[in-house]
Amino acid sequence: MTANPTGFCGNSDFRFEADGVLVSWAVPKGVSASTKDRRLAVKVEDHPLDYLTFEGEIPEGEYGAGRVEIWDTGEFTFEEQSDGFMCFKLAGKKLQGTWKLIRMRWGKGDSWLLQASGDAKIVDEA
């Protein structure tokens, strides 16, 4: 699991390693640990595993252009998974606890909602 905030409009990428690729969602407003927040998460193309450790600049005009920094890494386990719903536990350095991805029935593309459950938290390193 990685969440990679980039310099592009505060966007975060939320990724799981599965079947030899990083299954990825763009989360425009970033991740929130509040159970009241439902953040849009747009399913984007899978990324190669090299992206687990990639940090740097993606040139202007290329997909994902801007600065890429690894914000968090860790492990995940699925608690429940069905068509259009994923519940998973994160054990990252910063993101911890149970989260859900819920597919939306409307909107353009593959739109999901990312929502924290009651035990979810974002650990502040400071």
pLDDT in tens, the chain (126 residues): 444 544 334 578 889 898 999 999 999 888 899 999 999 999 999 989 988 888 888 899 987 788 888 889 999 999 999 988 999 999 999 999 999 999 998 756 689 999 999 999 999 864
CB 1 within 8 A of CB 76: yes
- Angle subtended at Cα 9 by Cα 97 and Cα 73, rounded to the nearest 5 degrees: 30
Single-letter amino acid code for the residue at 25? W
